[in-house]
């Protein structure tokens, strides 16, 4: 196993570095219906943790399919991309190339890319690929709950992606027919959720390491989404944890609708703003002025169709942006989806991969495939 993991990239190469407080921090948008300090953190909507409201299910794209969502060109693109990604899986089941090597983070994202096509461990044309990826991730689960590759310096990115991957498998299969692996999978998710909850900091967010010292929006979305997946799969998740996370994300929104990186202040940017909007949605908040302001900001600064890769952290940002638009539904999804679909089809290599010079082609291809397959509606995490 390589000792330098792509998780280091997620925190350092992708630019999620600590930012010095600006001399004049920008104004922060006030939270709608701010919580009463005497009553504790604000709850997501009125339906409880991850609840949302019954009418919200009719608003997203889940139940409102666009005409021509899946074109023949898209289907062909996905088939070539999946075939390339399957060919480059490492013998131990891992994914991850370039100077960072294999990692839990990229392996989990690759596994989700195949699951987005309906493949599960032992099921489907790429069932064995998913099964081997699962075994690799389970082999990197520590007794304290942390899921990380060796010598990872910023493990909470990968921990969030891995918990999401395990949660989706468990939710879709109940662990599968292999009772020993099913129990191992269940235990790993329970421990990983406990670690996320125990490492939430005083502000309500998470940072690179599993200690409650600091927080940023980018790492926090990974944990919120992981907790949502675990909860969907029937794993107990603390409501207090989610309430505090919602309060943290709300306070990170700037007056322009975008999101700062940390609460010390700072400008809005595309990737972190897409993560901020998705954080609120995955916490069960769908119909809210903070969502509208965030989507308006993302649309202004990053609507696909311009120069490819112009936005920093392109794949990471669009991974969350497409989910935000899908969960918003309506005109937002109708505007965003054809644009990002066309842009990704245009940039695919002839052999089926998508290049990412900073992180590696395994990562770029996995992210692109997840984005392109959102309309297949296989993954439970994409449901309201």
Q: What are the extents of the domains in the chain?
A: 40-68+252-347
pLDDT in tens, 214-267: 999 999 999 999 999 999 999 999 999 999 999 999 999 999 999 999 999 999
CB 353 within 8 A of CB 364: yes
> Is 60 exceeded by the pLDDT of residue 6?
no
Backbone Cα Rg of the chain: 19
pLDDT at res. 260: 98
Q: Is the pLDDT of residue 40 over 50?
A: no
Query: How far apart, in whole angstroms, are the C-alpha atoms of residue 265 and residue 379?
Result: 35
Of 319 and 48, more confident:
319
Give the residue with greater pLDDT, 141 vs 61. Answer: 141
pLDDT band at 310 (very low <50, low <70, confident <90, very high): low
pLDDT at res. 56: 54
Q: What is the mean pLDDT of residues 1-30?
A: 38
Lowest mean pLDDT among 170-179, 256-265, 282-291: 170-179
323: which residues sit within 8 A by CB, 6+ positions away? 278, 281, 374, 382
Give the least confident one: 69-83, 222-236, 306-320. 306-320
> Do residues 148 and 199 touch, judged by C-beta distance below 8 A?
no
| d(C-alpha 111, C-alpha 127), whole Å | 10
Can you give the pLDDT at residue 14?
37
The pLDDT score that the predictor gives to residue 5 is 35
Residue 55 is predicted with a pLDDT of 54
What pTM, to 2 d.p., does this model score? Answer: 0.87
What is the full DSSP assignment across 238-280?
A: -HHHHHHHHHHHHHTBBTTS-B-SSTT-----HHHHHHHHHHH
Q: Exposed, middle or buried, 228 (CB in 10 Å: 0-12/13-18/19+)?
A: buried
Q: What is the pLDDT of residue 178?
A: 74
Which has the minimum average pLDDT: 17-21, 161-165, 197-201?
17-21
> 344 pLDDT exceeds 80?
yes
The mean per-residue pLDDT over the stretch 177-184 comes to 84
């Amino acid at each position: 196993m390589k000792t330098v993991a792509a998780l280091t990239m997620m925190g350092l190469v992708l630019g999620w570095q600590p930012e010095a407080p600006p001399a004049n921090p920008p104004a922060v948008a006030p939270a709608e219906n701010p919580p009463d300090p005497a009553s504790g953190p604000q709850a997501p909507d009125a339906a409880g943790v991850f609840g949302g409201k019954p009418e919200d299910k009719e608003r997203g794209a889940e139940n409102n399919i666009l005409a021509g969502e899946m074109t023949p060109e898209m289907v062909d693109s996905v088939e070539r991309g999946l075939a390339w990604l399957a060919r480059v899986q490492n013998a131990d089941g891992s994914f991850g190339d370039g100077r960072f090597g294999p990692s839990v983070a990229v392996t989990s994202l690759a596994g989700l890319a195949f699951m987005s096509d309906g493949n599960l461990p032992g099921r489907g044309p790429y069932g064995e690929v998913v099964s081997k990826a699962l075994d690799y991730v389970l082999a990197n689960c520590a007794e304290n709950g942390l899921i990380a590759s060796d010598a990872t310096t910023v493990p909470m990115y990968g921990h969030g992606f891995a918990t999401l991957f395990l949660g989706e498998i468990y939710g879709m299969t109940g662990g599968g027919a292999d009772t020993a692996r099913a129990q191992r999978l269940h235990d790993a998710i329970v421990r990983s959720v406990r670690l996320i909850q125990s490492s939430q900091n005083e502000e309500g967010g998470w940072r690179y390491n599993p200690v409650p010292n600091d927080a940023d929006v980018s790492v926090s979305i990974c944990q919120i989404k992981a907790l949502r997946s675990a909860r969907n799969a029937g794993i107990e998740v603390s409501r207090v944890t989610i309430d505090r996370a919602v309060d943290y994300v709300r306070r990170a929104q700037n007056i322009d609708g975008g999101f700062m990186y940390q609460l010390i202040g700072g400008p809005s940017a595309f990737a972190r703003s897409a993560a901020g909007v998705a954080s609120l949605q995955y916490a069960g908040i769908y119909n809210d002025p903070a969502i509208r302001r965030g989507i308006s900001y993302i649309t202004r600064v990053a609507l696909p169709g311009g120069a490819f890769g112009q936005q920093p952290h392109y794949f990471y940002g669009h991974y969350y942006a497409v989910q935000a638009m899908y969960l918003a539904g309506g005109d937002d999804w109708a505007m965003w989806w054809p644009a990002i679909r066309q842009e990704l089809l245009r940039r695919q290599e002839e052999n089926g991969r998508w290049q990412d010079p900073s992180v590696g082609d395994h990562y770029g291809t996995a992210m692109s495939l997840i984005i392109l397959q959102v309309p297949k509606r296989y993954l439970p995490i994409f449901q309201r």
